[in-house]
Amino acid sequence: MSANATLLVPSRSRGWRMGLANMLDKEMGAFWRTRRWWVQCLIALLLLNGSLALNLKGGQRVDNAGLNFLVIAALGVPVAAISLAQDSILGERHSGTAAWVLSKPLRRPAYVLAKTIAHGLGLLVAWIVLPGAVAYFQLASPTGGQLSALRIAGIMGLDYLNLLFYLTLALMLATFFNGRGPVLGIALVLAWSGPMPFISEPIQKYVPWLYDVLPWRLLIDFNYNRPLAGYLANGQPLPTVVPIIATALWCVLFTGVAIWRISREEF
């Protein structure tokens, strides 16, 4: 035994926060202290800003190029969130690392929250802030600096809410299913059925209210309603905030259900 054993200060955190700080630090490290951060940043820049650059170079009008940027964000950002999130919990359940860390003084809510927060922050920088900032400069130069940074920030805020929806959804699904198929399948179908015209048309016809309670209207809308991002881009007041509130509530609900489910999981 070490002579300095008494100098160590035992951890005092208890309740749902037990182990949260350490687990969060580990999750942040898994993003920022590995190559994951620059890989994600690179993919986001190539996909979002690369396509924007091509559109602008191809002579597209700034508003059309901006719209295309939103289309790619609406389709691509959820994929990044879903693929990272599903592997985070499902991969650990399969490998046995989840059982290992949960045998330590770590509460299960803290385990889920650490993953949600760390992925949420990592993806915020890689897929929202960085491409958003670059997109601002890409779009600002052809408009002679007329583009409002505040509007871009608002649009990227909607983009982030959309991302959080799919991140928390995938984390929740990963606590329910053992296979990657159902997690990826359900999350991706949900992510793409709103923007895809051939799927969204019947939804618009039979269950149009889904557009108010899901994040589909936040960024793009190929049908009747203009997306909320479009209003922000044009400097117009938002016609409704219901999709924003509903999406935020879904994120809270998904996280709550993920915590409930993992608390009942046996390893």
The stretch among 99-107, 222-230, 234-242, 244-252 that binds other proteins (CB under 8 A) is 99-107
Examine residue 2 and tell whether it contacts other proteins (CB under 8 A). Answer: yes
Verify binding: residue 178, other proteins, rule CB under 8 A.
no
Which residue of 14, 199, 234, 245 would you call a contact of other proteins, by CB under 8 A? 14
Q: Min. distance of Cβ 168 from other proteins in angstroms?
A: 23
Tokens of residue 228, six digits:
């909320």
Taking the C-alpha atoms of residue 250 and residue 46, their distance in angstroms, rounded to an integer, is 30
Q: Is 106 in the site for other proteins (CB under 8 A)?
A: yes
Beta strands, E only, 24-126: none
Q: CA 69 to CA 44: how far, in whole Å?
A: 11
Q: Does 19 bind other proteins (CB under 8 A)?
A: yes
From residue 14, give the alpha-carbon distance in Å to each of 20, 98, 109.
10, 19, 12
Q: Is residue 119 within 8 Å of residue 193, measured between CB atoms? A: no
Contact 111, 24 (CB under 8 A): no
Q: Is 59 left (phi over 0), alpha (psi -120 to 50) or beta?
A: left
CA 25 remoteness from chain centre: 19
Question: Which residues inside 34-93 make contact with other proteins, applying CB under 8 A?
Answer: 34
* Selected binder of other proteins within 100, 141, 148, 185 (CB under 8 A): 100
Does residue 104 interact with other proteins by CB under 8 A? Answer: yes
CB 126, min distance to other proteins, A: 18
34 or 234: whose CB is closer to other proteins? Answer: 34
What residue ranges bind other proteins (CB under 8 A)? 1-2, 4-5, 7-12, 14, 18-19, 22, 25-26, 30, 34, 95-97, 99-100, 102-107, 266-267
